[in-house]
Every structure is written in C-alpha cells, then in structure tokens.
Amino acid sequence: MLAVPLHRQFGTDVTDILPKDRQICMVYQDYMLFPHLTVAGNIGFGLRQKKIAKSEIITKTDEIAELLGVSHLLNRYPGTLSGGEKQRIAIARAVVTEPEVLLLDEPLSALDSRTTERLQWELARIHEITGTTTIHVTHSFGEAFALGDRIAVMCGGRIIQVGAPDDVFRRPNSEFIADFVGVENLFRGKSVVHDDISLVHVDGDGICMVSSTVKSGDVSVSIRPEDILISKKEIETSARNSFCGEIAEVKNMGAIVRVVVDVGLPFVVALTKQSYEDMGLLCGVRVWIVFKASAVHLF
C-alpha cells in the first residue's frame, strides 16, 4: 500500500502518480453512494455495469459484505447509515469489482477518531487479504505511517520524498518534510567531516553534535524526541552526544510527556507519563540528555 500524505490538495493531478493502463477504482472522500439504491444495490453496482450474472453479483456482494462486517445493512438505504457505515459500503463497492489499483481519496478525514482507528485496521486487513495495489491519499502522516508500505509526500503537486515510512519519518530530506512529520528538534549548523563522522556546530550556540551521517558544509539537523535519553544523573554511555541543561518546559500530551531541556539549545525529549512521574522531572530541574550519533540526521 502506498500512502500519499499531501501538503496541499491537488485534485485530478493525483492521476499523475497512478499506474497507466490499469483498472483503477476510486473511493471518494464524500462516499458518493446512490441514495435510491439499497446497500446491496450500491455494492453490486459496478458488477452490474460489467454485465456479471445476477447470481454471481449476489454471491460476491454477500462475500464482501461479510468481509467488511456490513451484512446486516444490505437492505438499508444510505440515508439511514452512519459515516463509518457509509465509508465501509463505499470501500465494499470498490473492492468487490477486484480492481488492479484501488485509489482512496482521504477516506477517513470526515470520521471521528474511534471510527478512523477501526477503519484503518479494516483497510489494512482488506489489503492483506486481497493484495490489491492501494494508493491512499491523506493529509495525516500518522494515518499514512499506520497504513503505508511506502510513502510519497507531495507539496504543490510535486513529490518531495518517497520511501518506507520509517525512512521518511526518521530521515527527512528537507525542512519541509521534517516539519510535516513532526520533527521537534530541528536546527541549522555547519558540518565538518572528521574520521568518517560529522561534527556539527550549531549556528551561534556553541553546541557541537556528532552525527554518523557524513556530510559537510551548511546542514539542517534533526533528532527525534523519542531517540533522546534523559536523566537527573550523568549517564555513563557510549553515545557520542551528551549535554547537561535545565528543564524549561513540560508538555503533558496524555500518555506521552514532552520535556523541553535547555542546554544552550532547546531539545524536546519524549517519554511516557509513567517514566516522567517516576523520575520526578519538574521545570527548573538540572538533567542530562544523551543521544547516539546515528540518531542525528543531516540534510
């Protein structure tokens, strides 16, 4: 499954990234169900257009309805369905025709978070069962990360970066991508290569970081908050980057707490709420932060 996070809506230009000469079926953001047809009629519509025998249409409709858990809705009309139910029917109508490529145009954007999570799981299951090449267009990187085998990030109709979700997430190729995927530790500096490592001097702050990414000259530096260790005591470690500073801010995000540590630069550190409480971290407390050279990404 290719998940395509978009910075801007680019309408019909999406066809530029679709495989040519393939049978493509699309699931629209606003469902596009026929109000005068029952759920069974909507699901079987594409099969009728293909002149499939009535008995086979009934069989295939029942099978896909069972797969998506909507068998109990077959005699209902779209106007009586919830948003999540309508989206399942729209997906069923597309999948039942067995297309070579399935294009999903922001299928979860209008749904509540609980329904979105449930449909994400169902989309992943359908993809695993059918093996259909799926292009999922979304503005949510979290959604793309959860569903995509490969991710293409687009801005202004141009593909900016393509790769496995973890590659894009941890190794953005530009400040735009870094901002889009939520990199909170993003700095500018000058890199000097020495003994197959990069020593990065961050502009104007006297901070020097070590990176295993070999690149010289003016660079951008990104470090994921979850790759940084924090302690109230100095940490004995082989990690190449170790700094001492003071907690300047605490951001409670629910299950996750983001701690901003001022070491001359403001580093954001992510840890679980339980770890935060166990460590007794508060604003003004002196702490050490540590991260590996491999966690420092240059671009």
Q: Which residue has the tokens 């973890």?
A: 166
Local confidence band at 11 (pLDDT 50, 70, 90 cut-offs): very low
**Mean per-residue pLDDT over the chain, rounded:** 87
Q: Which residue has the tokens 């393939």?
A: 22
Give the range with max mean pLDDT: 109-113, 122-126, 171-175, 261-265. 261-265
What's this model's pTM, rounded to 2 decimal places? 0.71
Alpha-carbon distances, residue 251 vs 11, 36, 143, 190, 210 (angstroms): 37, 50, 23, 30, 27
Round to whole Å and give the CA distance between 20 and 41: 30
Nearest to 295 by CA among 231, 202, 227: 227
Round to whole Å and give the CA distance between 154 and 185: 22
The fraction of the chain above a pLDDT of 90, given in percent, is: 51
Give the range with max mean pLDDT: 24-38, 137-151, 282-296. 282-296
pLDDT at 4: 59
Nearest to 108 by CA among 98, 100, 94, 118: 118
- Average pLDDT for 59-63: 95
pLDDT at 115: 80
Q: Over the Cα atoms of the chain, what is R_g?
A: 24
Predicted confidence (pLDDT) at residue 263 exceeds the cutoff of 50: yes
Contact 127, 1 (CB under 8 A): yes
- Average pLDDT for 23-44: 89
Local confidence band at 196 (pLDDT 50, 70, 90 cut-offs): confident
Name the least confident of 13-22, 112-121, 259-268: 13-22
Local confidence band at 13 (pLDDT 50, 70, 90 cut-offs): very low
* Residue 1: DSSP 8-state: -
Round to whole Å and give the CA distance between 209 and 224: 14
Instruction: Residue 21: count other Cβ atoms within 10 Å of its Cβ.
Output: 6
Q: What is the pLDDT of residues 206-247, one digit of tens each?
A: 788 999 988 999 999 999 999 999 999 998 888 889 999 999
Q: Name residue 189's beta-bridge partners.
A: 202, 219
Give the contacts of 111 (CB within 8 A, at least 6 positions apart): 83, 84, 87, 119
Higher local confidence (pLDDT), 187 or 116: 187
pLDDT at 1: 54
Higher local confidence (pLDDT), 284 or 131: 284
Round to whole Å and give the CA distance between 36 and 50: 20
Predicted confidence (pLDDT) at residue 14 exceeds the cutoff of 60: no
